[in-house]
Amino acid sequence: MLSMVFTSCDDAYNIAPDDEILESNAITSVADLEKAMLGVYATISGSNIVSYSSRFTDDLRLPADNRGQGVQVHTWNIIPDNGAVSGIWSNMYAVINRANRLLDFIDGVPANTDDEIATKERIKAECYAARALSHFDLLRFYGQSYTDGTKLGVPNVDYVVFFEQLSRNTVAENYTLIEQDLQNAADMLDVSFTDNTRFTLNAINALRARVALYKGDYAKAIEHSTSVIDSAPLATAAEYADIWTDASEAEVVFKLKRTNNDGFIGTIYQDTNGDIFFYMSDDLLGEFLGTSSNDPRLAVNLDLANATMEEPIIGKYLGSETNPGLNDVKVFRSSEMYLIRAEAYANQDKLISAAADMDILRTARSSVATPAYTTKQEAIEDIMSERRIELAFEGHRFFDLKRSNSGFDRSANDCAAASGACSITSTDHRWVLPIPQEEIFANDNIKQNPNYDSN
């Protein structure tokens, strides 16, 4: 049914054949709306962000026997017709399209009880939130800045598009739509709705905190992250490992539920038959080894049963014996909120508050003590280092380097099979993805990002 819900002919001549299935006759009840909303969630990949961030940055090492998986991104061969580039673009706009289609006709679906009225309102809020998430992720990848509102962002799509050729909006215009969608969602969602596989008020506030941090609105980043922190306690050191086998929901604010009919996130790093596509980089392994011996994060991120120092196999998404590599995709966790708030405090020169948040997180992980920060720069460097450990292989490293204007150098061992892709500066144009070539061909109004040749 879901495949039919979101498939309709472009009815240019107002002709509606008897066998054409449109939203208006495919969705006629609130129960149908619920099924259609699941179709929106099913379209959110989540793993495409994890994949690109891992492969582009200094978190992975390419084995000599890699069969070509992710090599273009890992070696920084970022061009407009790269499959990863076009896949991210098309996937996120597909989510937006599905959300817009639901929003376009949801008011016309009858609700006969108070519960059905409340359900319609909640689904509408979820559509706004999904649209905001996808617009923000598009901005993170393709936008020319996070803080300069005059730069080019991505096309805002807040209605069902048929034949229009949309131009790119500015970064400021992107933020305006994202923030309005999130405000709409927050106004509509009831605090009693707590399903962490869907957008809840906590998930909305987590996204608002992340958006505010990128934008440089540190007061809002503190406000929204605090709201989540107050509602979703950190996992204990004993609970932490169970988050990654999906046995525990501790501190998971929002996740994408995955079954064996969905993509296997663990196959970013190794095949289901055990073939290794990428190892953990020596550089990242060194970061983990620098934590306390009681810190559970090393045992989660490294497959200790099979890894060696020469072959550090990634263990965060091992799945199960029957479904290797299959795990839910964690989009927001409480730990990120502590890191967001600490960074926002540091940028406001509230160094004691920043150190206090870092210490709470590290205590929960039985990790090393937090130093007393003496400068903002010292605090931010320490927070960024902790983000790399805490959020490893969750899709943050690429954006953290980009927004902090940081390049990196791969170690000699990490670079051995990377075809010379050993060092990248913070000013390299490849930190901003190109608009996909297929979009350039199809849309006369779209403008390519600098330094990417297009035909």
pLDDT greater than 60 at residue 19 = no
pLDDT at 26: 78
Q: In whole angstroms, how far apart are CA 267 and each of 90, 128, 440?
A: 21, 31, 31
Average pLDDT score over the chain = 93
pLDDT at 247: 96
Report the candidate in 42, 184, 38 with the shortest Cα–Cα distance to residue 125: 184
Which residue is listed with tokens 């390419």? 62
Q: How far apart are CA 431 and CA 144, in angstroms?
A: 9
Q: What is the pLDDT of residues 313-361, one digit of tens each?
A: 999 999 999 999 999 999 999 999 999 999 999 999 999 999 999 999 9
pLDDT at 222: 98
pLDDT at 20: 47
Residue 233 and residue 251 in contact, taking contact as beta carbons nearer than 8 Å: yes
Here the tokens at position 454 are 């297009």
Q: Which pLDDT band, with edges at 50, 70 and 90, does 84 fall under?
A: very high
pLDDT greater than 70 at residue 15 = no
pLDDT at 16: 39
pLDDT greater than 70 at residue 256 = yes
Q: What is the pLDDT of residues 382-441, one digit of tens each?
A: 999 999 999 999 999 999 999 999 999 999 999 999 999 999 999 999 999 999 999 999
Q: How much is the pTM?
A: 0.93
Q: What is the pLDDT of residues 143-169, one digit of tens each?
A: 999 999 999 999 999 999 988 999 999
Give the CATH number of domain 2-11+26-442; options: 3.30.565.10, 3.40.50.170, 3.30.200.210, 1.25.40.390: 1.25.40.390
Cα R_g (the chain), whole angstroms: 22
